[in-house]
A and B are shown apart, each in its own frame.
Chain A
Amino acid sequence: MTDRTTQDWMNQWQALSRQYWNAWQDLSREAGASAGRDPASVPWHEGFEQWARMFGGSGPQSETVERVLASAKTFTQFAQSMIAAATGAQSGAMPNWSDALRKGFGFAGAPGATFGNGMFGNPLASALHDISGQGVKGFEQMMAGLAPMLDPSREMKSWLNVPAFGFLREHQEHYQKMATAMLDYQEQSARYNTLILKASQRGFEIFESKLAAREEPGRHQIDSLRALYDLWVDAAEEAYAEIALSPEFREVYGNLVNAQMRVRSQVQQEVERIATDFGMPTRSELDSIGQRLHDLRREVRNGTHAGNGDVTREIESLRREVAALKTALAAHTAARKPAAAATKAAPRHKRVRPAAKKRAPQVAALKADIKESVRTLAREAEPAEPVAQTKKPRLRRRRPTAPRAKKSMPKVAHTAVKVGEPVTSFAARIAEFARDARRHRKEIRRASRKGR
């Protein structure tokens, strides 16, 4: 009876497979790829290789074509396995759908088969592996790009701990570090793959439990391949999320990425060393220039955008200060004019000295403020303004002692140091303020002398 059932199943399965392949060959109009082979033993997804050759690799949508073909191939593996199970069920055997699913992802040549153990494939690893192409590049593909720089041989382990010496000591140490980083990466990669395999296995378990739930009376039976496939996808994603959100995955994922970054970093250092030996510009040199340029642009930009940055605030502060000086000077001059007129009109011996005395403290305070401002401005302008240098000695002669603490411009020097070099336009503006202030000071002096 059992033999009879098996024979019936085989006959049916071969008939279906033959039917499938005939249809496939009609569609692709390329008979011959499977000629001479038993259709029941040929993986159905093999036909996609022909289509990939026919449709892939050209045109604006070639990436999408390739992604569609890859997915259709996976679906067809799934379909073939499930139809085989269904054929068995029709012949009286009790199908094991989970095993059929495993077989679906474990066909020879199926991508998942390379990750798993034998027929029980690793569909999640396959799905992750397939995420590649234009616009997508994962850590695995990035690592493959480094392959020419790395020695994959495990024999490197043997000389890892050999003490480095001689004039090549640094290079040897560097290679040791690179090899250590590479081995660490391989170890972390193995841990990651183990977790993905675990997620795939968990996916099969969840798939089984979802099927079991449908055995209850009143539940809708699955009657199409697509519905069954969708159920499998739900199970796989549920299992993956379970693993991917676990603390263990977080740790392993972090370690894997960090390990790869260490490998890349070591490779970059080696490339830099070679570039330096050949007198070529290096990445870190370019980065350094880029960083300096960026900092400079920030300073300039902040200075030109109201409300941002020290320079703007400083200029605004200086403007206010000069405006206050001008106002004070105007007030002072205005106050002097009637007094001077009175002095001119009155007899010399009747000069009203008490009024002048009364003003003396106010003028003295104003002069002190002006001196203070002019001194600070002149000092800040010194490095970039040759005109200021000609005036500078006079100020220094008058004040040979230690300069007083700056009050009005504490951040200008800091800004210049931060930028690296004084910004010419800014220095010129400071010098302009200094010249204005000096001119005002002279006018005040002249006014004071006239007043006397």
Chain B
Amino acid sequence: MQPIKIEPAKALDEALTMQRKLAAGLKTLREVDDVEFGVTEKEAVYREDKLVVYRFKGARRPTAKIPILIVYALVNRPYMVDLQSDRSLVKNLLEQGEDVYLIDWGYPDRADRWLTLDDYINGYIARSVDAVAKNAGVDKINLLGICQGGAFSLCFTAMHPDKVKNLITMVTPVDFHSPDNMLSHWTRNLDADLFVDTLGNVPADLMNWCYLTLKPVRLNQQKYVGLVDILDNKAELENFLRMEKWIFDSPDQAGEAFRQFMKDFYQGNKLVKGGLKIGDRDVRLADITMPVLNIFAEQDHLVPPAASRVLGDHVGTDDYTQLAFKGGHIGIYVSGRAQREVPPAIHSWLAARDD
């Protein structure tokens, strides 16, 4: 049996249909204004340098006693958690009754080139946590770390367990040497010192390029071929453009922090192997003794499930819960399934520990 049965006339029709859609869609695309994001009302409760801690305002007062502070990665902008009205982790958490805060790191420039992981974790995060706790009138808060922000949250919690009541990690790399971690594989032979000494801050454009080269055909070609199908749907097109804007709107990376992250995490894998120091403090995952909820994505090409799943083997808590989400690294915030599954799961897990 022939594996392909393509009628030439039908195929030509398919190609022409695509051209027609493209012709109509490109006009629409050119006329679409810049898309908006970040739908939930918020107020700044703490500022320091380029960092701002926001508190989100829901339609009703939060019922949860302990606030959640979202610690996002440095490598992308945090509005992914509040992208649009029907795709917002924040909005859904608020609707569940949670009190949600978020750290916006801002865009580092050359003046921030010397910021270290100690500055970020024992400095910025520590002071943000204090500010949120003070604002909420509590001693401890719940920390929700996402991706690289999850790794930072693990470090912070291990060093300051007295400040964290419950820890939630989402798509967080823990074991950086899992066999399918392509990004880590590529960094293993890089001379991190030469890299940072030469570049200073690491350009966001270069980081984006690296992410896209993880799946070059799918992410840079097939995705846009697929876009042709929805070009005539303005709402769908705007959703796509919002995501597109987020993908390419990335901050540069502060050089010293990047150097340490590459050497200690990507190359040294010290979070699981041990020997990690942030500033003058040792980081031991075994010191994390409060309840931990670890959420990872089963089709994550940036943080493979194997990199995340091992967290349970290393933390010191007896109260460890793991949630495998059917989706990818981005889908875990923005897919329809994510809206239905992730916020309720977080809320019910926290509610069970709200004593």
Q: Which residues of A contact B206 (CB under 8 A)?
A: 137-139, 142
Q: How far is the CB of B241 from chain A (nearest CB, A)?
A: 6
Q: Given A28-B23, A131-B209, does the pair A257, B215 have CB atoms closer than 8 Å?
A: no
Task: Give the one of B4, B20, B34 with max A CB within 10 A.
Answer: B4
Given A71-B225, A221-B4, A224-B14, residue A262 in contact with residue B194 (CB < 8 A): yes
A261 touches B191 (CB 8 A): yes
B residues contacting the other copy or chain, number (CB 8 A): 81
* Chain A window 52-88, contacts with chain B (Cβ cutoff 8 Å), 1 for yes, 0 for no: 0011001111111101111110111001101100110
Residues of B within 8 A of A74 (CB): 221, 225
- Smallest distance from the beta carbon of A340 to chain B beta carbons, Å? 49
The answer to whether B9 and A128 touch across the interface, beta carbons within 8 angstroms, is no
Closest residue on chain B to residue A71 by CB atoms = B224
Q: Is A154 part of the binding interface, using a Cβ–Cβ cutoff of 8 Å?
A: no
CA–CA, A211 and B222, complex, Å:
19
Assess whether A68 is in contact with B22, with CB atoms less than 8 Å apart. Answer: yes
Task: Please tell me if the beta carbons of A83 and B185 are within 8 angstroms of each other in the complex.
Answer: no
Answer whether residue A1 sits at the interface, using C-beta atoms and an 8 A cutoff.
no
CB-CB under 8 A from A62, the residues of chain B are 30
Q: Which of A75, A136, A295 contacts B225 (CB 8 A)?
A: A75
> Nearest-CB distance from B331 to chain A (Å)?
18
| A226 and chain B: residue at smallest CB distance | B14
Q: Choose among A58, A127, A142, A254 the residue that contacts B188 (Cβ–Cβ < 8 A).
A: A254
> Does B51 interact with chain A (Cβ within 8 Å)?
no
Output the nearest chain B residue to A60 by Cβ-Cβ distance: B34
A308 touches B30 (CB 8 A): no
In-complex Cβ contact of B224 among A28, A68, A142 (8 A) = A68
Q: A83-B15, A136-B208, A225-B15 known; A305 and B23 CB under 8 Å?
A: no
Contact of B244 among A27, A64, A79, A223 (CB under 8 A): A64
Interface class of chain A by DSSP: helix
Decide: A123 near B217, CB < 8 A? Known: A27-B20, A64-B241, A258-B191: yes
Q: For residue A82, which residues in chain B have a CB less than 8 angstroms away from its CB?
A: 6, 11
Residues of A within 8 A of B (CB): 12, 16, 19-20, 23-24, 27-28, 44, 47, 51, 54-55, 58-65, 67-72, 74-76, 79-80, 82-83, 86-87, 89-90, 95, 97, 123-124, 127-128, 130-132, 134-139, 142, 211-217, 219, 221-226, 228-230, 233, 236-237, 240-241, 244-245, 249-251, 253-255, 257-258, 261-262, 264-265, 268, 283, 286-287, 290-291, 294-295, 298, 301, 305, 308
Beyond A83-B11, A138-B213, A221-B2, 16 extra complex contacts between A and B, CB < 8 Å: A16-B8, A68-B224, A75-B221, A127-B216, A128-B213, A134-B248, A135-B248, A137-B203, A137-B208, A211-B4, A217-B1, A221-B1, A224-B6, A233-B218, A298-B123, A305-B126
